[in-house]
Structure 1
Amino acid sequence: MNAVTDTREDAPAVIQTIGLGKVYAAGTPAEVIALRDVDMRIGSGELVSIMGPSGSGKSTLMNLIGCLDTPSSGQYLCGGTDVASLDAEQRAQLRLERIGFVFQGFNLLGRMSALENVAMPMGYAGIPRPQRLQRAQEALAAVGLAERAGHRPSELSGGQQQRVAIARALVNRPSILLADEPTGALDSRTGEEILALFKRLQDDGQTVVLITHDPGVAAHCDRVMEMHDGRITA
């Protein structure tokens, strides 16, 4: 009987870097080499962790694969698109369409309801308001917060705020979900609930990349990429 093989790593690459490097203040006494010759490949539907201590380069790598910054050397293919071939406006459009971000600090607007916070990215995409609100409600339902749509962030627990942030990241239906220390501001039980939510999203076909320094968070992922001194070491 043939063994069953998980083919997710064989799926088309959503993220691929080839010799990626990043240098800040190049050629000056303040020069910092943040990334060195990074090769990585993440297939569609994977749940992957990029783990490393502070200063290892993981945040720089997240900024590059999130199209928030540009590399000094090497190549980054986002869904097959060579990001270096795009101008700033095109990169912003790619980021809006293909990448959702979840941050440790939630980054919700306090004057807006959960529904309005989730709907906000669709305004930048030019989606009409009725459709924005419908999709935002669907996204909140997907993270278990349909009944909290009218609440402001101050009326929600930390875990609920993070769920709103995840719904907001998903509402434009991105191919990549990048989460930077997504459980760092939560207690351990709530953190486990958020990690279980990421797993459910993966089961539905979402590609999820977790940036973390915590081995306990990384243990929930299918693959762990360890970073030290700007390189992927494992």
Structure 2
Amino acid sequence: MSEPAPIAVIRTQALGKVYSPGTEAEVVALKGVDLSIGRGDFVAIMGPSGSGKSTLMNLIGCLDTPSSGKYECDGVDVSTLDKEELATLRRDKIGFVFQGFNLLPRMSALENVAMPLGYAQIPPAERKRLAQEALAAVGLSERAGHRPSELSGGQQQRVAIARALINKPPILLADEPTGALDSKTGEEILALFKRLRDEDHTVVLITHDAEVAAHADRIYLMHDGELHEQTGAAA
């Protein structure tokens, strides 16, 4: 007997999103998007502003709900979940990394990384241990006590990545994660994403930059709310 096909970590079927439907302000942001991403994949979704890529990221990240179609996150149909269940799924399954780092300025790197564990009601001593492990994983053990203003842009983004990984989510969503960094530091962050992929994380990179997208194993192009896979992507 052949083994059953592995469940896609991210699977969308005919996913659509319409804002202000039936009004003069109606915007069709996504049109029938079919997407399947497996565990350990590194995928880039590329497109200009207004193409729908941020809308798609918000749906994949369970920050918004679709107008039509279906989304399964790690085998769970998100439309079956109430608000509390959705928040739990988002906390446990998805780590977010943003262009602006979104670190709290008065907290140390360690405290910023540990913060999501507070919502999960993890005891303080365990929070600290896990946060130290996460910082070590991104090469920042020696910066644990530093505040964001005492860190370079690349170091701040590494702290943000450690925070995104603290709950050990299978999915890492990165929205223009190198946009605020110089090219050398950006390359270091992309190399870190490749290492995370090799450790079985699923990395979804949202970008408008073709050079950044070329680091992914597969590239999808968004245009006018439609998604198409680009052939010949660099590994």
Q: TM-score range by the shorter chain?
A: over 0.9
One-letter identity of the residue aligned with 1:130: A
Aligned pair 1:52/2:47, yes or no? yes
What's the CA shift for 1:204? 1.0
1:71 to 58, 66, 82: 66
Provide the C-alpha distance between the structure 1 equivalents of 2:66 and 2:82, rounded to a whole number of angstroms: 13
Aligned pair 1:146/2:141, yes or no? yes
Provide the C-alpha distance between the structure 2 equivalents of 1:35 and 1:46, rounded to a whole number of angstroms: 23
Quote the residue 1:39 is aligned against.
Answer: 34
Quote the residue 1:13 is aligned against.
Answer: 8
- Map Cα deviations across residues 89-130 of structure 1 (whole Å, 9 max, x no partner): 111110001000000000000000000000000100111111
Provide the C-alpha distance between the structure 2 equivalents of 1:125 and 1:34, rounded to a whole number of angstroms: 33
For the residue of structure 1 that corresponds to 2:9, the secondary structure is strand
- Map Cα deviations across residues 139-186 of structure 1 (whole Å, 9 max, x no partner): 000000000000000000000000000000000000100000000000
TM-score (norm 2): 0.95
Alignment of 1:65-214 (within 5 A): 65-214=60-209
**5+ long unaligned stretches in structure 2:** 230-235
Report the aligned-residue RMSD: 0.7
- Map Cα deviations across residues 14-62 of structure 1 (whole Å, 9 max, x no partner): 0000000000001111000000000000000000001111100000000
Provide the C-alpha distance between the structure 2 equivalents of 1:194 and 1:44, rounded to a whole number of angstroms: 20
TM-score (norm 1): 0.95
Quote the residue 1:4 is aligned against.
Answer: none
For the residue of structure 1 that corresponds to 2:50, the secondary structure is coil
One-letter identity of the residue aligned with 2:28: I
**5+ long unaligned stretches in structure 1:** 1-9
Provide the C-alpha distance between the structure 2 equivalents of 1:233 and 1:175, rounded to a whole number of angstroms: 24
Provide the C-alpha distance between the structure 2 equivalents of 1:52 and 1:88, rounded to a whole number of angstroms: 30
- Map Cα deviations across residues 191-212 of structure 1 (whole Å, 9 max, x no partner): 0000000001111111100000
Provide the C-alpha distance between the structure 2 equivalents of 1:184 and 1:139, rounded to a whole number of angstroms: 23
Identity of aligned residues (%): 74
Provide the C-alpha distance between the structure 2 equivalents of 1:204 and 1:116, rounded to a whole number of angstroms: 25
Provide the C-alpha distance between the structure 2 equivalents of 1:233 and 1:110, rounded to a whole number of angstroms: 39
Aligned pair 1:226/2:221, yes or no? yes
- Map Cα deviations across residues 56-79 of structure 1 (whole Å, 9 max, x no partner): 000000000000000000000001
One-letter identity of the residue aligned with 1:175: P
Provide the C-alpha distance between the structure 1 equivalents of 2:177 and 2:122, rounded to a whole number of angstroms: 28
One-letter identity of the residue aligned with 1:129: P
For the residue of structure 2 that corresponds to 1:210, the secondary structure is strand
For the residue of structure 2 that corresponds to 1:120, the secondary structure is helix
Provide the C-alpha distance between the structure 1 equivalents of 2:90 and 2:153, rounded to a whole number of angstroms: 26
For the residue of structure 2 that corresponds to 1:12, the secondary structure is coil
